[in-house]
């Protein structure tokens, strides 16, 4: 037990601000991607533009594995659209399941936001 406690302490020392920030961002990344797609059909670069504006992500790489996983989880769907400047592009849309999922996440997010506000007062 003492070993475990010391490990926990060791770990919390290693936690720095940047780390926590990154964790927080990652947590809501999926929520934001789904929100962007709930507004319109989008190509990864379009999504990245939105996320860059919000300073959530700065590089595209983060997005691809996430999109694939969301798609394989049945939350997203895509259409191939021909492109003049390269290979065909995948345009992603939300599935019904994705919409439900988003609603649930939104509720949770609202709850959390309220909770944080309440505690910060």
Q: Which residues bind other proteins (CB under 8 A)?
A: 4, 7-8, 11, 14, 19, 22-24, 26-28, 30, 44-45, 58-62, 64-70, 72-74, 83, 85-90, 101, 104-105, 107-108, 111-112
The residue (of 40 and 45) whose beta carbon lies closer to other proteins is 45
The residue (of 3 and 39) whose beta carbon lies closer to other proteins is 3
Q: How far is the CB of 77 from other proteins (least distance, A)?
A: 14
Q: How far is the CB of 88 from other proteins (least distance, A)?
A: 8
C-alpha distances (whole Å) from 7 to each of 14, 16, 120 are: 11, 16, 30
Q: How far is the CB of 86 from other proteins (least distance, A)?
A: 3
Instruction: Give the position of tokens 């659209």.
Output: 81
C-alpha distances (whole Å) from 41 to each of 58, 91, 96 are: 21, 6, 14
| 86 within 8 A of 26, measured Cβ to Cβ | no
Q: How far is the CB of 39 from other proteins (least distance, A)?
A: 21
The residue (of 40 and 80) whose beta carbon lies closer to other proteins is 80
22, HSE (Cβ side, Cα atoms, 13 Å): 7
C-alpha distances (whole Å) from 57 to each of 33, 34, 108 are: 11, 15, 22
């Amino acid at each position: 037990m003492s070993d475990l406690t010391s490990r926990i302490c060791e770990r919390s020392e290693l936690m720095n601000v940047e780390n926590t920030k990154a964790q927080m961002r990652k947590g809501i990344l999926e929520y934001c991607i789904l929100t962007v797609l709930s507004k319109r059909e989008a190509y990864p670069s379009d999504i990245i533009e939105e996320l860059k504006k919000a300073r959530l992500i700065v590089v595209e790489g983060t997005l691809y594995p996430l999109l694939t996983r969301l798609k394989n989880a049945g939350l997203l769907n895509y259409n191939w659209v021909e492109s003049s400047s390269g290979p065909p592009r995948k345009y992603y849309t939300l599935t019904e399941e994705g919409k439900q999922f988003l609603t649930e996440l939104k509720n949770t997010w609202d709850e959390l936001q309220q909770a944080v506000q309440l505690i910060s007062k």
